[in-house]
Structure 1
Amino acid sequence: MLRSRPEAPRPPVRPGVTERRERLEEQRRSMVGDVAHELRSPLTNIRSWLEAAQDGPTPTDDRLLALLLDEAVLLQHVIDDLRDLAAADAGRLTLHREPVRAADVLDRVAAAHRGTAERAGVRLDRHDVGDTGELYADPLRLQQIVGNLVGNAVRHTPSGGRVALSARREGRATLLQVADTEAGIAAEDLPHVFDRFWRADKSRTRQTGGSGLGLSIARQLAEAHGGSVTARSTVGRGSVFTVRLPHEHPGRSAGEG
């Protein structure tokens, strides 16, 4: 008669490992739910408008086509943001670094967002402190970082408010700042502003224009450059988001072209 070999003792689980696994699993479930919500709303709108047009009462005119295009663009925006986050999480975020002037990046971002700001009644300003010099960075990703911050600021600044873009050197780093006025973020909410799909005002939805991922992506891209993004805010006075990037080349990584 064969006797079964005694089962080898399992290594003890280190304190905190179980809690960390449970927290990661909860974050994964929450992420899946958030993604489903973000994708469901535009898809529901597209389907209902197309069904109404098929049934006859809704005319297939320029207005309907514009609505469908807006929803399709939003879907593409959410999907692109999710792709960037997945690449960052997997360490596959590709950076193509080259010498780039911080002031030029801010100028391009300001030009790209000025129309949206004007339609929202928000003044968009640009100013620098001294010569900001050059960074060794991916210019497109750098524009994406600042663009996400500016887009967020414009959406949350009431009409008549102001958003300012500025740059300055500080020691061995360059600081890019996006400051807005009026609204501000409560102290208890500030630690969560870079969380994925997080919104301070739970009544705010994707209709505010964002995917809920822009600030998370800005942080991931800044960290991929060896830098950081931080936020400070005072309710009723506004917020300041600061991107800090090193001047030196941090070393060629596997994800760089």
Structure 2
Amino acid sequence: MHGELEALEDGVRRLDAQALRSLQGEVATLHKLVDDLHELSLADVGALSYRKTDLDLRTLIDGTAGAFRERINGSGLALQLELPDQPLPAFGDERRLRQLFSNLLENSCRYTEAGGALRISARREGAHAVIDVQDSAPGVTPEQLPRLFERFFRAEASRSRRSGGAGLGLSICQRIVQAHEGRIEARPSPLGGLWLRVELPSHG
């Protein structure tokens, strides 16, 4: 953004609609980075507030996927949504869980090659609700998988080449899942990309 502003000041670049859109994009990126860093710093000191209530994960996931449908289509991905016929009850913070699923979908939209697929499934397994988010190529090496939840870590080569992300989204996901006494892990996806599995205590 600093470089773009200097170009405008020096007359190298015209101040037109395209330049304004570019600057708006840079501001949005900085705003997201500051928000994410603030959220992680609050999590570090246990100051993130959670307001947990009884909720239906099926409805929450379906709504989040619906909100992302245009973005998913725009990324050239085919969405496969596999949700149970019955409610999937849980006890959690609806806003934070919506943020969790949004970050997972954002991760796939950002990194998966056009023409690929994004598969979201949810089901109950014993005392847990299991949510799987899988995408197609490119994948992540086995060495990189455990590091995906580290702050600022971004997979090398093809998985990160188109991304402007700072590598904080999955760290935030991990914090949200931990606050709900669940677990999240990364695996290679049979679709050719990344498989993120979330397990949350079921309720009811």
TM-score (norm 1): 0.73
| Structure with greater strand percent | 2
Q: Does 1:89 align with 2:31?
A: no
Q: Which residue of 2 aligns with 1:160?
A: 115
Aligned-residue sequence identity (percent) comes to 35
- Conserved? CA contact 1:130–1:168, under 8 Å: no
CA–CA separation in structure 2 for the residues paired with 1:94 and 1:204: 33
User: What pairs up with 1:12-23 in 2 under 5 angstroms?
Assistant: none
User: What pairs up with 1:1-257 in 2 under 5 angstroms?
Assistant: 46-201=1-156, 208-233=163-188, 237-248=192-203
Q: Which residue of 2 aligns with 1:25?
A: none
CA–CA separation in structure 2 for the residues paired with 1:194 and 1:80: 17
TM-score (norm 2): 0.91
Structure of higher CA gyration radius: 1
Structure 1 unmatched runs, 5+ = 1-45, 250-257
Q: CA deviation at 1:184?
A: 2.0
Q: CA deviation at 1:236?
A: 7.2
Aligned residue pairs, count: 204
- Conserved? CA contact 2:135–2:191, under 8 Å: no
- Conserved? CA contact 1:132–1:168, under 8 Å: no
Q: CA deviation at 1:151?
A: 1.1
CA–CA separation in structure 2 for the residues paired with 1:174 and 1:144: 17
RMSD: 2.1
Q: CA deviation at 1:217?
A: 0.5
Q: CA deviation at 1:211?
A: 2.3
Q: CA deviation at 1:169?
A: 0.6
Q: CA deviation at 1:85?
A: 0.7
CA–CA separation in structure 2 for the residues paired with 1:211 and 1:192: 14
How has the CA–CA distance of structure 1 residues 244 and 234 changed in structure 2, closer, same or farther, with 3 Å as cutoff?
Answer: closer
